[in-house]
Structure formats: C-alpha cells, structure tokens
Amino acid sequence: MAAYAIVDVHIFDIADYLDYQQALGPLLREAGARYLARGGEFEVFAGHMQPERLIILEFPSHDRLRQFFQGDDYQALLPQQEACCRACVIGVSGLPEPTLP
C-alpha cells in the first residue's frame, strides 16, 4: 500500500535549493517516488500551521519511504539541504482501500 511524505519547506537560498532538487530527483526516482503536489497554491482552513512551500510525495510503501529518508544516499544530501532550506518531513501510510468519510 502506498505511503506519503508531506514536506513543509522554508527556502532561504533558491539557487542552492534548485541544485539540491537536481541531486534529489534521481534518488526519488530510484525509490519509486512521485510528486503529487509540489509548491502549488494552498490554504490553511483550521489551526495555526504556516507553511511556505508544501510538497506531497507518494512512495510504493511505508517501508520504501522509510528506507529512502533513512538511507545513506539521502542522508548524504542533508548538509546540502540544510544549507539552502529548512524542511519538516512527515511520513504517513495510505489506506488499503480509499473510503468515504
């Protein structure tokens, strides 16, 4: 079952962030991830969250999501990431079958 990474990114160096994204892309493809949302328009309807840029990634499974973020290749990119942005990443497992509320 699919799993999702919900990422809130605060960018403080756009040029370095674009370089970081170039390095990250092949790793995400290798992990079988795909972007579902990436920096588009959003609204906060409840609570006090103040995101700057939201990203939603879909992974084939929660294990693949965990392996990606805990893996050596992603961990090696963290210094580059931390030099250009602050990111909060939350992983959540999908439902076996979508359900109605």
Is residue 47 assigned to a domain? no
- Give the Cβ contact number of residue 72 at 10 Å: 6
Region at 47 (left for phi over 0; alpha for psi -120 to 50; beta for the rest): left
Taking 90 as the threshold, does the pLDDT of residue 101 lie above it? no
Number of domains in the chain: 1
Is residue 37 assigned to a domain? yes
- The domain in which residue 69 lies consists of 3-41+52-89
Say which CATH number the domain at 61 has: 3.30.70.100
Query: Mean pLDDT over residues 81-100, rounded?
Result: 93
pLDDT tens profile 26-73? 999 999 999 999 988 989 999 998 899 999 999 999 999 999 999 999
Is residue 11 assigned to a domain? yes
Compute the half-sphere exposure of residue 76: CA atoms within 13 Å on the CB side of its CA. 6
